[in-house]
Structure 1
Amino acid sequence: MTDKPVTLAAIVGAHGVTGEVRLKLFGQGPDSLKAYKGFDAGNRRLTLKTIRPGPSGAVARFAEIGGRTDAEGLRGTALTVPRSALPPLAEGEFYHIDLMDLPCVSDAGEALGHVAAVENFGAGDILEIQRPSIEGKPGKRFMVPIHAAQIGEDQAVIDSAFVD
């Protein structure tokens, strides 16, 4: 497990004139952010005071944001926590951050590359695999449904029927 920063939300704009911000959420909803006292926000730390559901995400108030101008200045800022701050998962569950850069091999033993992205287009998680570079050119990418992979701590084994 790495302790990379995990983005839980991003500030998408100001809400009102008192310093509240609109958030785009990348987790389980506004209540999931209440478990964290503060967030790393670029080169500063923000302390959550309140959060509630809002249009297309949430509306939050942070102790360090005093007015609309401050809030507008944070547009586009990612709110992160260290990976170690996230709650433990049940067997067979993974945070996307844990899958990034995970080496991949086929079930026939072929080295395939590494996980470059985890996508979800509505029908379940999909792993995007980056093939190794060849002669300085990036290898091509291909996608496989996560159910076609056996995820281990040190590698993902991909069902050969899904290898491109």
Structure 2
Amino acid sequence: MPGNSGNDRAVVVGRVSGAFGVRGWVKAVSFTDPPVNLVGYRPWTLRRGDTEHRADVLEGREHGSAVIVRLRGVDTREQAEALKGFEVTVRRSQLPPPAPGEYYRVDLVGLKVVNLEETVLGEVVDVMETGANDVLVVRGDRERLLPFVQGVFVKSVNLEESRIVVDWDPEF
């Protein structure tokens, strides 16, 4: 993929929340939709702080609101418990392409934001979920929170040019 979307950054898709049973299965909170999609991303990279290691998914399934997964080399409850708190990450290239007009957060972070008058407002440093709509955290001369509402505030997103055009007063 061209532009910012072509990079292969790590994307957090879940978190290990503990052990399940006594045979080494882990329970994970999935950030994918539907949650069971977490099982299909292989391999995982488990990350906590500066610690990072590959985890090969052998099998998994939904279990209530969580997902339970068997990982290669994790055979005891104690080994599974030791993974509690690790983030589950995959490479950006492992994710399916988004639908037209939709974007992965990881693709928006780092884009330059300009308004209709070409005033540079800054760079997207984060995307927050608020329930109603996502909000771009844009850092430039100061930090701004811009609602990611396409057609209203967000006029265009161009991943190839690494820029977002917004209808936004720089004084706000």
TM-score by length of 2: 0.82
Letter in 2 for 1:158: V
Letter in 1 for 2:158: G
Question: 1: CA distance between counterparts of 2:66 and 2:123?
Answer: 32
Of 61, 65, 73, the residue aligned with 1:56 is: 65
Of 7, 19, 23, the residue aligned with 1:18 is: 23
- Match in the other structure for 2:3: none
Residue-by-residue CA offset, 1:85-120 (whole Å, 9 max, x unaligned): 211223222111000111111111111011121122
Number of equivalent positions: 158
Question: 2: CA distance between counterparts of 1:100 and 1:57?
Answer: 28
How many angstroms does 1:67 deviate by?
0.9
Question: 2: CA distance between counterparts of 1:163 and 1:97?
Answer: 27
- Match in the other structure for 1:152: 158
Question: 2: CA distance between counterparts of 1:55 and 1:34?
Answer: 15
Letter in 2 for 1:146: V
Identity within the alignment, %:
30
How many angstroms does 1:18 deviate by?
1.5
- Match in the other structure for 1:46: 55
Bigger RCO (CA 8 Å, 6+ sep) = 2
Instruction: Tell me, yes or no, if structure 1 residue 142 matches structure 2 residue 145.
Output: yes
Give secondary structure in 1 for the equivalent of 2:36: helix
- Match in the other structure for 1:103: 112
How many angstroms does 1:55 deviate by?
4.1
How many angstroms does 1:66 deviate by?
1.0
Letter in 2 for 1:152: N
Letter in 2 for 1:119: M
Question: 2: CA distance between counterparts of 1:157 and 1:46?
Answer: 39
How many angstroms does 1:161 deviate by?
5.2
Question: 2: CA distance between counterparts of 1:111 and 1:161?
Answer: 11
Aligned-residue CA RMSD (Å): 1.9
Letter in 1 for 2:106: I
Give secondary structure in 2 for the equivalent of 1:146: coil
Pair 1:163–1:151, CA change in 2 (3 A): farther
